[in-house]
Structure 1
Amino acid sequence: MEIIRFADLEPEPWRNGGGVTRELVSHPLAASAQDGVWDWRVSIADLTKAGDFSPFPGMERVLTVVEGELLLLNVGGSEHPLEKYRPFRFSGEAASSATLPTGDIRNLNVITRAGAYKGYTSIVELSKKRPHPLFAGQLGVLLQGEATAKPGAALVDAAPDAAVLDESATGATAAAGITETEDTGTDAGLGASEPLSRYDAVVGSDTRTPEILGRGFLGVVSIDALPA
């Protein structure tokens, strides 16, 4: 099981000084959150002042406000009021800018290369009695509340080649602050729960599928590879 600890991520300032970005994971792994050499990226950004967004030609974006009340996003001349936990999809190459009528905002951002990958974000309310599984190609980010993650039971017919996000996260372990629970056959490997702090992310897998239990809200990001 792989956990990306938010506290271990380095904030990278925006070029225009309007905020900072913390990259959770990208594919291929970039040397910098500003590189734009990846085919997809999942990140958390803090906006502290109004201004333009950096363009991402050939990309599609899904932005979700996860902290703060309201973000006014102008895309191609049209204004969109974005409220907390309501994902919004828009073109990465469109001229975009934001104003902050209620103060600072924190966003969960998913950016994918158009025609090659498709990104989705959904907000899930957690339960202490019914675990939420995270499968290959998914990333679960604790947005609010208290939760734990543990590896599920081993699956006989796992499909490791389907794990688009899982494979990339494994390659990004050192840079992204990922911790792993080894499959040792002991209690620690078979079912030990790992506490999650706010904005920690759990990488999904079809092998020993991680399960999240708790109270609060989980942002579930899915990255799908599109047919060539």
Structure 2
Amino acid sequence: MEIIRFADLKAEPWRNGGGVTRQIAAQPSPSVASEDAPNGRANGGRDPGWDWRVSIADVTKAGDFSPFPGMERVLTVIEGELLLLSVDGAEHPMEKYRPFRFAGGAATSGKLPTGDVRNLNVITRAGAFKGFTSIIELSRKRAHPVFDGQLGVLLQGQAKVSAGEGGPADLGRYDTVVGSDSETPDVLGRGFLAVVSIDPVED
């Protein structure tokens, strides 16, 4: 059983000073040279060097988002009340726990009418992978499984995770459980879990 602890994630400041990103997991792209993507981040609209990435971003100032041409994004506000997201000129009020899908190459900016927000971001290479985010309310009586190709991020509350013959482990806020089909982790508790699925696109 693999748990990615939020406390161990490195905060990478945005170039425009508007926030920081903590990468939870990513799959490098074998077709992109690493020198084209320093630190695995978008650089002037060039390829970031991965086929998918899941991250948590703290947005502390209104401004532009980095472009990811050829990618698809799913953004979910997980802390804070409201993000006003502008995508190619159309404004979208982003409320907590409501995933929103949009093109990574779109001209995107955000406003913070009620203060700072924290977002869960899923970015996938269009035509190769499809990302999905579901918000699940946990139960103390019925475990929620996290399967292979999924990540379970504890957004709020208290929870434990167990798999196979191993004993249960406590999850802290924003800790991530890596899914498995062989010894499927089961999450029990009270609160909300974001289940991120990364599915390969069939030819």
- What TM-score comes out, normalization by structure 1 length? 0.82
| Alignment of structure 1 residues 105-120 onto 2, 5 Å | 105-120=117-132
Could you tell me how far 1:206 is from its partner in structure 2?
A: 0.3
Who is 2:196 aligned against? 221
Q: Percent identity?
A: 71
Q: Deviations over 1:40-92 (max 9, x none)?
A: 00000000000000000000000000000000000000000000000000000
Instruction: Give the alignment partner of residue 166 of structure 2, picking from 188, 191, 196.
Output: 191
**Conservation of the 8 A alpha-carbon contact between 2:158 and 2:172:** yes
Shift of 1:32: 2.4
- Shift of residue 128, structure 1, vs aligned partner: 0.5
Q: Which of 140, 143, 165 is 1:131 aligned to?
A: 143
Q: Which has the higher helix share?
A: 1
Which structure 1 residue ranges, 5 or more long, are not aligned?
153-189
Alpha-carbon deviation of 1:33? 4.6
What is the correspondence of 1:1-228 to structure 2 with a 5 Å cutoff? 1-28=1-28, 32-34=39-41, 36-152=48-164, 190-228=165-203
Q: Is the 8 A contact 1:123 1:219 kept in 2?
A: yes
CA shift digits 1:93-113 (9 cap, x unpaired): 000000000000000000000
CA–CA distance in structure 1, aligned partners of residues 52 and 41 of structure 2: 13
Gap runs ≥5 in structure 2? 43-47
The SS at the match of 1:64 is strand
- Structure 1 residue 34 displacement after superposition: 1.6
Which aligned runs of 4 or more in structure 1 are off by greater than 2 angstroms?
Answer: 29-33
SS at match of 1:39: strand
Does structure 1 conserve the Cα–Cα contact (< 8 Å) formed by 2:62 and 2:110? yes
Q: Kindly tell me the number of residue pairs found equivalent between the two proteins.
A: 191
Q: C-alpha distance in 2, partners of 1:202/1:12?
A: 22
Instruction: Indicate conservation of the 8 Å contact 2:40/2:49, yes or no.
Output: no
How well do the aligned residues superpose, as a CA RMSD in angstroms? 1.2
Q: Aligned AA for 1:19?
A: G
The structure carrying a bigger strand percent of its residues is: 2
Partner deviation per Cα, 1:164-206 (whole Å, 9 max, x = no partner):
xxxxxxxxxxxxxxxxxxxxxxxxxx13000000000000010
8 Å CA contact retained: 1:21, 1:33: no
> SS of the counterpart of 2:56?
strand
**Which secondary structure state, in structure 1, belongs to the residue aligned with residue 7 of structure 2?**
helix
C-alpha distance in structure 1 between counterparts of 2:147 and 2:25, whole Å:
16
Q: 1:70 to 1:33 in 2, by over 3 A?
A: farther
Counterparts of 2:177 and 2:120, CA distance in 1: 14
Higher RCO (C-alpha 8 Å, min separation 6): 1
